[in-house]
Structure 1
Amino acid sequence: MGLGTWAWGNQLLWGYEEGMDGELQELFNYAISKGVNLFDTADSYGTGRLNGRSEQLLGRFIAESSARKTDDVLIATKLAAYPWRVTPGQYVSACRGSLRRLGLDQLALGQLHWSVAKYAPPLERALWDGLAAIYDEGLVKAVGVSNYGPRQLEKIHTYLTERGVPLASAQVQFSLLSKGPQQQDIRDVCQGLGIQLIAYSPLGLGMLTGKYSATGQLPKGPRGLLFRQILPGIQPLLGAMQAIAEERTKSSVSQVAINWCIAQGTIPIPGAKTLKNAKDNIGSLSWSLKQAEMDELNSLADKVPRAMIQNVFQTS
């Protein structure tokens, strides 16, 4: 199944607050009107308690929009692994729960949210069987994985192929700050096996938006600590991104970061909390990076002294 040319990160629903439904509905409708048709979410987004708050909101937005569910909106959701799910049957039940919350008969893409190879390897095969089961039962058009490293990705691809189940996608953290050897290996494996690479955190948690500086106000908590460690070393990269943006009318640093991900063959899923963010992100589709610009960005990114910390669940 083709995943299209663009994906919209449903991370905007992570920060749900009472009274925001109207604004989020407006944002959703705007994205649909601009041709954004793939929305990524998870049954753990919204509260972290697997009650699917994000999925519930998406279902409401679809129902209250003019979009036709089967033609205009493709929903990709991620289903949590162990310790919440242990057997293939539990994975099927989880998928049915997501469908109920979304008000859909079938998902465009059902994804294993993370691998358990690092902390519960005997259960990995059961979860793979769960992916095969939701495909065989017609609950999803395609299946994918998230936070899989290159070797584990090859293993699950082989296993699912033997089951007659095509692996459509692999979702990992991927950006100008997350382009180390392992991420490049994942991209190469995806290209070799015909798996679509989906890039989450394409804006480096916000560090690649131009909004933050090494001497300015930073987010609080662990995120702020990470920013203090990384931002001082990425100023040359940010400067080049700003110069590229200024050469184009109404472009932004964020659009440069998103364009870089697209040029790598990925489908980026940037988050947006406001309509302004959404318009800016979608604006990146109106232009492309030149090869000389790509070369400059890659060179400067390679020189960043401290790269982004990878997701603890990502396997080898």
Structure 2
Amino acid sequence: MAQMASFALSPSCFGSFTAAASNKASSSSSPAAFKPLKLPLFWPWQKVKMGPLSVSPMGFGTWAWGNQLLWGYQESMDSELQHIFNLAVDNGINLFDTADSYGTGRLNGQSEKLLGKFIRQSQVKNEIVIATKFAAYPWRLTPAQFVKACQGSLERMQMEKIGIGQLHWSTANYAPLQEMALWDGLVAMYDKGLVQAVGVSNYGPKQLVRIYDYLKDRGVPLCTAQVQFSLLSIGDDQLEVKKICDSLGIRLIAYSPLGLGMLTGKYSPSKLPSGPRGLLFRQILPGLEPLLTTLGDIAEKRRKTIPQVAINWCISKGTIPIPGAKTLKQAQENLGALGWNLTQEELNLLDNGAQESPRKMIQNIFQTR
């Protein structure tokens, strides 16, 4: 627990006030040395309403918790992942996003299993909101099969009810009949009390309005829409989805707020990650210099890091970002995106830098119009 406290009181999270207090504490040799007050990263009234739920302004994504192919997960990482979860919860984060497909090979569903284990050991388990996504697999052809998928997630997490049940992607582009069955599956899991709220992921503006109207006619409110949203993914579709969400009272959850790591400042054309990400980075990174320079300038001025500025941009745009974390250092850095706000001038500089980038993030292949 002492290790956790040292991370929770990091200056990068709490700013110069805590840094000064920490320095004062370390300079005293008295056993009763002054211990700085741990300021919250956000106050209770700054939580965000998401249908019947109240969540932190930022959540944590858990795509990497079980994915070996893209993120190099190993089961030996589980102890650190639990520390990450504890660190997030200790600092007020109560929204965790996952999916029944997260995990590769025999580890399919591993993310949900780990979250369930961590929640059971938490002292604030009743305050935690899990948003899980159900894959539109080809064999899920009926509402009953989609309900069964939800029950499978509940079993893996050993929970009685999921916070937000989300359709992972739309099948409208290739199997429209299956799409209607999946919508009815959302209705069924909501009516059966298996989820507190429902949402969608990777829905474009037109299909988002369609499912909103369909669910509304069935007495089911659509509470969330999850899309790829970052300084690398701010095209017309994202802006239109955001506008629709604002007008209909849907909360937009921003996944990949750091562009799979391209907006961390840790990589360059000569320093690429291994695996499939390296191939993507090689195409896009060479054109990101203006944007990364702007991010770096603002980060230096604010005494923040580049990832913290990029995540705060998402928050400032009115979305709920869900950055991932595989290490305590990454989790600590994510938390440093809270507790402050970019100015309008800084937002304009970042928007301009994003527009100057010659290549954007490749969109999810299941993203619909």
* TM-score tier after normalising by the smaller chain length: over 0.9
Q: Does 1:95 align with 2:150?
A: yes
Alignment of 1:278 onto 2:278: no
**Aligned 1:151-166 pairs, distance under 5 A:** 151-166=206-221
* Correspondence for 1:227: 281
State whether residues 108 and 140 of structure 1, in contact with CA within 8 Å, keep that contact through their aligned partners in structure 2: yes
Aligned counterpart in structure 2 of residue 62 of structure 1, from 119, 127, 130: 119
Query: Aligned AA for 2:210?
Result: K
Once the two structures are superposed, what CA deviation does each residue of 1:186-235 show, in whole Å capped at 9, x if it has no partner? Answer: 11111111110001000001000000112x22023432122111111110
Give the whole-Å Cα distance in 2 for the aligned partners of 1:46 and 1:178: 25
Is this contact kept in 1: 2:162–2:194, CA < 8 A? yes
Deviation at 1:48, TM superposition (A): 5.5
Q: Summarize deviations over 1:134-183 as a string: whole Å, max 9, x none.
A: 10010000000000000000000000000000000000111000001111
CA contact (8 A) 2:169 2:203 kept: yes
Mapped to 1, the partners of 2:105 and 2:185 lie a distance apart of 21
Q: Name the CA shift for 1:103/1:231 in 2 (closer, same or farther; >3 Å).
A: same
Shift of 1:300: 1.3
- Helix, strand or coil at the partner of 2:336: helix
Could you tell me which amino acid in structure 2 is paired with residue 9 of structure 1?
G
* C-alpha contact (below 8 Å) 2:102/2:111 kept by paired residues: yes
Deviates more, 1:139-148 or 1:184-193: 184-193
Return the letter of the residue paired with 1:99: L
What one-letter code is carried by the residue in structure 2 that aligns with 1:158? D
The answer (yes or no) to whether the contact 2:116–2:156 under 8 Å persists in 1 is yes
C-alpha distance in 1 between matches for 2:274 and 2:80: 25
| CA distance in 1 between partners of 2:323 and 2:366 (Å) | 20
Residues 14-36 of structure 1: CA deviation (Å, up to 9, x unaligned)? 34312222111111111110001
Tell me which residue corresponds to 1:256: 309
Unpaired stretches in structure 1, ≥5 consecutive residues = none
Query: Please, what is the CA RMSD of the aligned residues?
Result: 1.3
Structure 2 distance, partners of 1:300, 1:283, is: 22
Superposed, 1:297-308 pairs within 5 Å as 297-308=350-361
SS at match of 1:92: helix
The answer to whether the 8 Å contact 1:76/1:109 transfers is yes
Match of 1:243 in 2: 297
Q: Tell me which amino acid in the other structure corresponds to 1:11.
A: W
Shift of 1:3: 4.7
Identity of aligned residues (%): 62
What is the deviation of 1:87? 0.5
The residue type equivalent to 2:180 in the other structure is: R
Greater gyration radius = 2
What does the per-residue CA deviation read over 1:238-267, in whole Å, with 9 as the maximum and x for residues that have no partner? 011011111123x10001110111111110
Work out the CA distance in 2 between the residues paired with 1:255 and 1:270: 10
1:296 aligns with 2:349: yes
SS in 2 for 1:20: helix
| Distance change >3 Å, CA 170–CA 23, structure 1 → 2 | same
- Report what 2:195 is aligned to: 140
Q: In the aligned structure 2, how far is the partner of 1:49 from the partner of 1:292?
A: 48
Matches within 5 A, 1:79-118: 79-118=134-173
CA distance in 1, matches of 2:298, 2:359: 23
Which amino acid in structure 2 is aligned with residue 17 of structure 1?
A: Q
1:34 aligns with 2:87: no
Q: Which amino acid aligns with 2:63?
A: Q
Q: For the residues of structure 1 that align with 2:284 and 2:359, how far apart are their CA atoms?
A: 6
Q: After superposing the two structures, state which structure 1 stretch, 56-65 or 257-266, moved more.
A: 56-65
SS in 2 for 1:66: coil
5+ long unaligned stretches in structure 2: 1-50, 68-72
Letter in 2 for 1:41: T
Name the counterpart of 2:237.
Answer: 182
Paired residue type of 2:104: T
1:46-72 Cα distance to aligned partner (Å, 9 max, x none): 1267841111111111112322x222x
TM-score, scaled relative to structure 1: 0.96
Displaced runs of 4 or more, over 6 A: none
> Cα–Cα, structure 1 residues 50 and 127, in superposed 2: closer, same or farther, change >3 Å?
farther
Counterpart amino acid of residue 100 in structure 1: E
Bigger mean CA deviation after superposition, 5-14 or 228-237 = 5-14
Contact preservation (8 Å) 1:11, 1:272:
no
CA distance in structure 1 between the aligned counterparts of 2:276 and 2:63, rounded to whole angstroms: 18
More divergent stretch after superposition (49-58 vs 297-306):
49-58
User: 1:89 offset after TM fit, Å?
Assistant: 0.3
